[in-house]
Every structure is written in structure tokens, then in C-alpha cells.
Amino acid sequence: MSSAPDTPRRDADVLVLGASYAGVEVVYQLHRQAPVKPPRIVVVDRDREHGYLPLVQERLLGTIPAASSKLQTARYVESLPHARFVQGEIVAIDPDARTVDLADGTRLGARILVVALGSVLEPPPSIRGGERLLAHKSPAQFDALHAALGRVLDGSIDRPRIVVIGGGISGVELAGELAALRTRADRPWPTPPEVTLVGGSSRLVPILRPGVGARTERALAAQQVDVRTATRVVEVGDGWVEVERGGASSRVDCALALWVGGIAPAPILAGLGLPRTDEGWLAVGPTLQCFPGGAGRAEVFACGDAVRVVGGDGPWPTMQRAIECIWQAKLVAANALTLLGQAADYPTGVPPLQPHTLRPGFAYGVSLGRRSLVVWGPLCVDLPRINHWFRRWLMRQYFARYPAPAPAAELSAR
Ligand SMILES: Cc1cc2nc3c(=O)[nH]c(=O)nc-3n(C[C@H](O)[C@H](O)[C@H](O)COP(=O)(O)OP(=O)(O)OC[C@H]3O[C@@H](n4cnc5c(N)ncnc54)[C@H](O)[C@@H]3O)c2cc1C
């Protein structure tokens, strides 16, 4: 499938790798910002649809229907003029030729390459037996954890305990949602679990103010969550986890142990031949180019969870959140369109591109089972009804941004 050595392979103007928050928004923005007709776009991802991650704990436990809380990503892309979705496993890229190779042997190329391959929710190798931990980010993880919950909460185990590892926002939200199974009339399985939440820091949600951590702990404790801060899981066995606190170790028996303690770079990022930080994230400049100012490689961009912006004094303290993906994607689209507006050999040089704006904070909604905090700077209010409704409204707004009409064949069959 390779093209002649001196003929660049050009299946599109822009090749977007990864179609989650960052990738799909790049596509949206390319269409929105294109001055005349939109560029030709090819999008590659292993998944055709994407579960809504900000409410993943509600999807997992059936508080909202899992099947209808997914973005129909491929359908959205396929509905756009001059855009194509390719489902496949990316195995390599060539930043000079701007081509990508898929596991099935397909090679695709474009003038502009955008890498939006994200992160994985996986424990560090330092936890012995960490492969026993379950998580809920990727569709495969989600399905495996959903099935495991069904097995341990089906009534066959007396008082099954679930240990949630991770005292950040995702960890407290999952622990709260599990605890709320106790009082739910419509719970999906007969037996509600006992819940232990283990966090390594001295307080919960350490990225937020100390008062929010204390309030979160009180809200979870009031729902019978056994909260253990300043505690680390060091080993996971069959039916137990070993934890350490202040130099003393002990075992917690459990039916399941779940990892929500932090993300890692997507494995593919290590082998792409792109500059990386010491932690393995893609290092991009403020213009979100992988080779800022790099002759001949100006057309390689990256954004979203996969990247750390490095500029000035070093890495910027950038949030790895959906809203940050959207901000970055908007800039990548603008810069890509600037380059596409020039002849491919840039006879007068590569034009200057716009830098990203660092926005260090934003509002947080922290759902804690029957409670739900809204946090903005020093403000922290518990508005369970309003916030649960608001977060679902946000989800609907997100889906409406990327409308995905049913394919013509499906419509005519109705
Ligand atoms: C449990 C959890 C809860 C969260 N809650 C919130 C929240 O409430 N609010 C918020 O703002 N943010 C939240 N986030 C963060 C937010 O989900 C991320 O910032 C966002 O998903 C990052 O999007 P992305 O497009 O950069 O990467 P990702 O979402 O990681 O997507 C990467 C994409 O690349 C694809 N991919 C990777 N490797 C390959 C390959 N080799 N071949 C083909 N395809 C590949 C994947 O299939 C995936 O579609 C949460 C994250 C998690 C894990």
C-alpha cells in the first residue's frame, strides 16, 4: 500500500488520529472555521462511538442509560462533506511523510497530521498485581467492569466490598455513585456494595481547595463510604488489597478493586517518533505543533490528554479535562487552516501561528452519590438536584454539538 518515494501520499488535507474529545472537536472546528469550503478530512480511531466520560460512573451503574449516553462519533464524521471515518488500530506514523499505518496494513497520508490519541486509565507498574484492578475508561474496560459488578452484586456474596483506588475527582465520584446504590429504588443489581475509598494524599480531591476535600469526605462518610486518605495500595491479590499508611501495612478484603488513581499516556505515544516529556506525554510548543519551528515538520500537531504544552520556563500546568481538549482543538484547527491557506512548499516561509492560551482553572461539578458539589474558585455549594440535572443537560448539549444522523439505509428501513 505504499506510494512512490517522491510522491507524498495524500488521502486528505487533514488526518486526525483519535476521535474522542480532542479529535472530534478538531473536525468540528475545521468545518466551523474554514473560510470557504472545508478541508478534506480523514479521522482514524479504533472506536466508532464514545461513551460520555464526565458521567461515566452514572453510565456504569445505570443511573443514566449506557447505550444512549454515547457520542456517535463515526456517524457524525461521515455526515460531513469531504470527511471520512476509518476504524482501525494505529500502529505507526511517519511525521516527515505525514502518513499513518494501521494494524490491517492500511496506510493513509495527509498534508496536516493531528495526533489526539489521549490517555489510558491504568495503574502504575509499581503496584504488585495491578493487572487485577478494573477501570472504566475504554469501552473494553467499561464492559469488563460492568460484567464484574453484575457478578459480585447479584446476591451470591454477603456484603460484597468494593475498593475504589484514587482520591481525585473521578475516584470520589465513582465511590459516591456506588454508595448511592444502597438507597436507589431502581438499582441494577440486588445487592448494594460496601465501599472503601483509598486516596494517597492527606485529603480528597487535592487539586481543589482543602475545604472542598473536607466537605467531600463528610459527604461520602455520611453515605457509609469508608474513606482512607494518606493511604496507598501496594499490592492487589485475589479478593484483597494491601494498603500502607504511615509505614504500617494492612489488608482490606474485597470482591473487586477499581483503579481510578490516575491516567498514563496512551501506549502508542511511545513509538510515534514525536518529542515527549519525561513522563511520556507528547511535548508540544504553545502553537500545539510537535516540532515548533521544525523545518519540514510544521504540519504535525497534537492536542488533548496526549500532550503537555512546553514553552517559556517548561511544561505548562495544563488541565487534562474535556474543556481543555475543546480549547486546544479550536486552536489546532485555526493553525491547520492557516497552513492550508499557503502553498505546500511555503515559498515565503511558514507563517506565524497562534499560541495557546493557558487557562489554569474552570468550574468543577463533583457528584457524590446523593450529594453534588459545584466548585468555582473559592465557591463550593452542594446543589444535588440542580447539579445532577445540569450535568446531564451539558451532556445533551455536547451530543447536540456533533449531530449524527442515522445512515440513509437505516432510515429507509424504518
Ligand atoms: C473516569 C474519567 C472521568 C472523567 N471525568 C471528566 C469530567 O467530569 N470532566 C472533564 O472535563 N473531564 C473528565 N475526564 C477527562 C476527559 O475525559 C479527558 O480529558 C478526555 O477524554 C481527553 O480526550 P482526548 O481526546 O484527548 O483523549 P481520549 O479521551 O483518551 O481519547 C483518545 C482516543 O484515541 C483513540 N486511540 C488511542 N490509541 C489508539 C490507537 N493506537 N489506534 C486507534 N485509536 C487509538 C482511543 O480509542 C480514543 O478514542 C474524565 C476522565 C476519566 C478517565
What distance in angstroms lies between residue 229's CA and the mean position of ligand 1's atoms?
27
CB 269 within 8 A of CB 281: yes
At 25-44, the pLDDT tens digits run 999 999 999 998 999 999 99
Q: What is the mean pLDDT of residues 128-149?
A: 98
Strand partners, 308: 283
Averaged pLDDT, 308-332: 94
Last residue of some domain: 214, 246, 263? Answer: 263
Of 107-111, 153-157, 385-389, 407-411, least confident by mean pLDDT is: 407-411
Average pLDDT for 325-337: 98
How much is the pLDDT for 2? 46
C-alpha closest to that of 299 among 326, 274, 318, 324? 274
CA of 220 to the centre of ligand 1 (A): 26
Pocket test of ligand 1: the residue of 21, 136, 164 to mutate, having most ligand atoms within 8 Å of its CB, is 21
Do residue 272 and residue 253 come from a single domain?
no
Going by CA atoms, what residue is nearest to atom 5 of ligand 1? 54
Interval 58-66 mean pLDDT:
97
Does the CA dihedral 357-358-359-364 come out positive or negative? positive
Q: Do 151 and 42 belong to one domain?
A: no
Distance CA 190, CA 187 (A): 7
Same domain, 131 and 243: yes
Contact between 173 and 384 (Cβ < 8 Å): no
What pLDDT, on the 0 to 100 scale, is given for residue 313? 84
pLDDT higher than 90, residue 411: no
* Ligand 1, atom 27: closest residue by C-alpha: 118
Q: Would you call 397 exposed, middle or buried from its count of C-beta atoms within 10 A (0-12, 13-18, 19+)? A: exposed
Ligand 1 midpoint to CA 272 (Å): 18
* Per-residue pLDDT at 1: 45
Q: Quick check: is 27 in a domain? A: yes
Atom of ligand 1 nearest to the CA of 54: 8
Residue range 373-394: average pLDDT? 94
Residue 409 has pLDDT above 90, yes or no: no
pLDDT mean across residues, the chain: 95
- Residue range 169-179: average pLDDT? 98
Specify whether 100 is located in the same domain as 147: no
**Per-residue pLDDT at 3:** 46
Residue nearest to atom 51 of ligand 1 (CA): 53
Best residue among 20, 359, 367, 402 to mutate for probing ligand 1's pocket (most ligand atoms within 8 Å of CB) is 20
Say whether pLDDT at 24 is over 60: yes
Residue 199 has pLDDT above 60, yes or no: yes
**Cβ neighbours, 10 Å, residue 233:** 25
CA-305 nearest atom, ligand 1 = 26
Same domain, 112 and 225: no
Res 364 pLDDT > 90: yes
Domain boundary among 245, 263, 281: 263
* Closest protein CA for atom 23 of ligand 1: 21
Q: Is the CB of 266 under 6 A from ligand 1?
A: yes
Range 287-308 average pLDDT: 92
pLDDT over 90 percentage in the chain: 91
Task: Provide the domain limits for residue 146.
Answer: 125-263
